[in-house]
Amino acid sequence: MKLIPLVSVLICAILFAPKGMALATDSEQPIEIQADFAELDDQEGKTIYVGNVVVIQGSIKMTGDKLKVNFSEERDLEDVYIEGRPAYFKQTPDSGDDVEGEGLLIEYHAQKNLLHLIHKAKLTQGKRIFTGDRINYDTAKSVITARGSPAQPVAAGAPPKKRERVRIIIPPKKKKPASKQ
């Protein structure tokens, strides 16, 4: 097995951020993955890490219970899945406002530049907060979409289940101090 190429491709892709989002130096930092179990299959192009998974590179930190990564035959990253209760990521961009996200499942689809936070999802950018059942983030276009939980069928005679709605908190703009003349 060729551990170094797989791990370096994995972490570079886990950055899942446009150039303006991550610290410019993150990709130059060493990569550390910790887990209770790891299985790397070069032939199939799959890697799996299980048990208290922690991935760190520069300002980026991801944690979860299970991390699964799929690669193409050319060893290009295709998909990253991290499960947890919740799975979590944090990143410091050059702008200085941390970006944090969590969900029971975090998916990253590298070829499409799409990050999905699924079930009990939350994304925080500085003081802006997005919550919902699913949050999709297009890392190339910097577009965030969020949706509430789908309607659940209810058994006859049972009380209706409360549907989770999207919640977004946008803080007020800071007022500029009045200039004295």
Q: pLDDT tens digits, residue range 84-97?
A: 999 998 888 777 77
Query: pTM of the entire structure?
Result: 0.75
**Measured on CA atoms in the order 150, 113, 90, 62, is the torsion positive or negative?**
positive
Residue 85's nearest CA partner among 52, 36, 126, 115 is 52
Strand partners for 31: 57
Amino acid at 38: A
Extract the runs of DSSP E, i.e. beta strands, from 35-127: 37-41, 46-57, 60-71, 77-91, 99-109, 114-125
Q: Which residues of the chain are under the pLDDT cut of 70?
A: 1-27, 31, 154, 160-161, 179-181
Give per-residue pLDDT as tens, 102-128: 999 999 887 888 889 999 999 998 888
Report, in this order, helix, strand and coil percent for the chain, each rounded to 5.
10, 50, 40
pLDDT for res 7: 40
Q: What average pLDDT does the structure give for the chain?
A: 79
